[in-house]
């Protein structure tokens, strides 16, 4: 079996899967329909303030699993839907930022700086076209890098890293995520520590479950859906409700703005924007390949670098960044969108989630079974087919299809989603909470799961109040069991050597890097850099 054989099998798995319906004698597979449905859902969610792609993925995942079941055949339809949501939400997030100066995510704030002034100047449709073209261009470039780099990186990891090195690599990843996205190294370590503590409750290889306090409920541990959805989604809902209670309700009327000037995006304008898109795409892809950094930093760097170039090339009478410059939108949207594909590089090659969307892709794989993201996915065998590699290329095909949808109908559908802004948050948040609890109960079907989810929601709320990022908690909860299993195996394989992380040169380098990242980021924050 060669590479092209696996690629073709992955494509066939998407196009020739179980038939949903037929059009003029041509069958349409369930996977194709789910990619389209997820993509349209993602754009609607991204265009709605207060909702993000991970929220929709969190609510949909348990429901999808209950519909499709736990068979391997459910992997591509479920993960195809999640990929569609991820792609659609990335593009749709620019809608409220440009039209109503209401960023749904932190990185979308930078889009408002030039997008909303263009709206006030009667150039709303052109601003949306620029955002769409830049976003899809950056996303496509990032996906191409993913297709090329993920298998290559996985082969290197499998060839040169043994159990001690893989254990140290997991520790390095957790340290990197804690230091970079935890708010501060100390807060990030607290969030990571809480995640590891939660995942180890009720687990272990002994006859007596750990940290269960002698209760039957805790002895079975916390279901992964309750922890992830509780901290990420329910915690955010609680925080949003508190903000609504404090602010009562934001009031205001949307002024009607008439279009003025040419709303089309000409080839000359695309040519002028291309250097900004290309540079931001490279920046976003490089940042996205590192687990845990996310699109906010990519958008900030892309905007900053674009502004520096613009200042050097603009004429004296031209507008500056922040006053309605198309280059500002292009720099920001290309950077934050190019993160999404690159974020799956550590997911598929190492099994390490880099952002919230990647968390739910791994959660889907672990819940359904039959696909374990990591180096073994890209292992070629001569005698028999590696089904995980077929699924991996099926996912690549699904991402390619989602990109085609983005290029063709994404812009048109995105510009029609302005109506979503009218949903008031005091109605939206309780609906999200109800849907999340329903989704948890559909998968777990026991009342203590809802209590656990609400408890984790309270934890997520206080983490946000204290400005502690919940993402290190979630990633640590997902990787905790794998870390323990790898450490146990490495300890046994090295003859019960308690210093196996430091006696192996590569593992020792990873551990030194883990400590160095924490020390370096702590020192920088201490100096106020």
- Per residue, the 3-state secondary structure of 206-250, as one string, reads CCCCCCCCCCHHHHCCCCHHHHHHHHHHHHHHHHHHHHHHHHCCC
- Greatest C-alpha distance within the chain: 76
- What whole-number distance in Å separates Cα of residue 181 and Cα of residue 343? 14
Band (529; pLDDT cuts 50, 70, 90):
very low
Band (433; pLDDT cuts 50, 70, 90):
confident
Residue 202 confidence (pLDDT): 79
With a pLDDT cut of 90, the percent of the chain lying above it is 9
- Local structure of 26: helix, strand or coil: strand
Query: Across all residues in the chain, what is the average pLDDT?
Result: 80
Structure-block tokens of residue 305: 């670098």
- What whole-number distance in Å separates Cα of residue 388 and Cα of residue 58? 24
Residue 456 confidence (pLDDT): 93
Residue 181 confidence (pLDDT): 66
* Res 253 pLDDT > 50: no
Residue 252 confidence (pLDDT): 46
Band (7; pLDDT cuts 50, 70, 90):
confident
The radius of gyration computed from the CA coordinates of the chain, to the nearest angstrom, equals 23
Domain locations in the chain as residue ranges: 3-249+265-526
Band (194; pLDDT cuts 50, 70, 90):
very high
* Res 297 pLDDT > 70: no
Bridge partner list, 28:
21
Residue 257 confidence (pLDDT): 47
Q: What average pLDDT score do residues 319-332 get?
A: 84
Q: What average pLDDT score do residues 72-90 get?
A: 88
Higher pLDDT, 326 or 208: 326
The pair phi, psi for residue 299, each rounded to 5°, is: -65, -40
What's the pTM value of the predicted model, to 2 decimals?
Answer: 0.74
- What whole-number distance in Å separates Cα of residue 498 and Cα of residue 264? 65
Q: Per residue in 458-503, pLDDT tens?
A: 999 999 888 888 878 887 887 888 888 888 888 988 888 888 898 8
The runs of H, that is alpha helices, within 93-123 are 94-100, 109-120
- Local structure of 23: helix, strand or coil: strand
Residue 255 confidence (pLDDT): 46
Q: What average pLDDT score do residues 155-168 get?
A: 78
The CB density around residue 16, as the number of other CB atoms within 10 Å, is 11
Residue 457 confidence (pLDDT): 92
Contacts of 179 (CB under 8 A, 6+ apart): 185, 188, 517, 518, 520, 521, 522
Residue 512 confidence (pLDDT): 93
Residue 304 confidence (pLDDT): 81
* Res 61 pLDDT > 50: yes
* Res 214 pLDDT > 60: yes
* Res 525 pLDDT > 90: no
With a pLDDT cut of 70, the percent of the chain lying above it is 86
Q: What average pLDDT score do residues 194-213 get?
A: 78
Higher pLDDT, 372 or 108: 372
Residue 508 confidence (pLDDT): 92
- Identify the top-confidence range among 1-10, 12-21, 391-400: 391-400
């Amino acid at each position: 079996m060669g590479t092209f054989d696996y690629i073709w099998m992955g494509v066939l798995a998407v196009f020739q899967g179980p038939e949903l319906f037929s059009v003029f004698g041509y069958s349409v597979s369930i996977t194709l329909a789910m990619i389209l449905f997820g993509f349209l859902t993602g754009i609607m969610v991204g265009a709605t303030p207060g909702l993000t792609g991970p929220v929709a993925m969190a609510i949909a995942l348990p429901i999808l699993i209950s519909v499709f079941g736990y068979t391997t055949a459910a992997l591509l339809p479920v993960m195809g839907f999640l990929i569609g949501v991820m792609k659609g939400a990335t593009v749709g997030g620019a809608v409220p930022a440009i039209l109503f100066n209401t960023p749904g995510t932190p990185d979308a704030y930078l889009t408002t700086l030039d997008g909303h002034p263009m709206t006030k100047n009667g150039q709303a449709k052109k601003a949306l076209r620029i955002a769409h073209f830049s976003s899809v261009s950056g996303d496509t470039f990032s996906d191409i890098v993913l297709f090329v780099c993920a298998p290559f990186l996985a082969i290197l990891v499998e060839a040169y890293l043994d159990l001690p090195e893989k254990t140290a690599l997991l520790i390095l990843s957790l340290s990197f995520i804690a230091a970079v996205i935890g708010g501060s190294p100390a807060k990030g370590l607290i969030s990571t520590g809480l995640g590891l503590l939660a995942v180890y409750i009720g687990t272990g290889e002994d006859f007596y479950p750990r940290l269960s306090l002698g209760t039957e409920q805790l002895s079975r541990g916390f279901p992964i859906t309750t922890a992830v959805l509780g901290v990420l989604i329910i915690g955010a809902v609680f925080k949003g409700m508190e903000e609504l209670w404090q602010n009562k309700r934001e009031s205001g009327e949307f002024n009607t703005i008439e279009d003025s000037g040419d709303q089309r995006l000409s080839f000359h304008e695309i040519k002028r924007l291309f250097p900004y898109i290309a540079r931001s795409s490279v920046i976003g892809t490089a940042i996205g390949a590192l687990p845990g950094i996310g699109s906010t930093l990519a958008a900030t760097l892309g905007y900053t670098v674009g502004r520096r170039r613009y200042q050097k090339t603009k004429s004296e009478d031209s507008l500056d960044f922040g006053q309605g410059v198309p280059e500002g939108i292009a720099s920001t949207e290309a950077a934050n969108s190019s993160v999404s594909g690159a974020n799956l590089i550590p997911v598929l090659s190492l099994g390490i989630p880099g952002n919230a969307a990647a968390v739910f892709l791994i959660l889907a794989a672990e819940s359904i079974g039959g696909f374990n993201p990591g180096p073994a996915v890209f292992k070629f065998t001569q005698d028999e087919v590696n089904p995980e590699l077929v699924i991996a290329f099926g996912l690549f095909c699904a991402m390619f299809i989602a990109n085609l949808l983005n290029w063709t109908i994404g812009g048109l559908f995105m510009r029609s989603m302005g109506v979503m802004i009218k949903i008031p948050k005091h109605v939206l948040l309780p609906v999200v909470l109800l849907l999340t609890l329903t989704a948890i109960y559909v998968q777990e079907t026991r009342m203590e799961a809802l209590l656990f989810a609400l408890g984790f929601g309270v934890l997520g709320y206080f983490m946000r109040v204290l400005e502690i990022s919940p993402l290190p908690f979630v990633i640590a909860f997902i990787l905790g069991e794998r870390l323990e299993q790898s450490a146990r195996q490495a300890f046994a394989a090295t003859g019960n050597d308690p210093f196996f992380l430091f006696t192996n040169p590569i593992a020792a380098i990873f551990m030194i890097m883990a400590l160095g990242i924490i020390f370096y980021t702590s020192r920088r924050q201490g100096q106020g850099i």
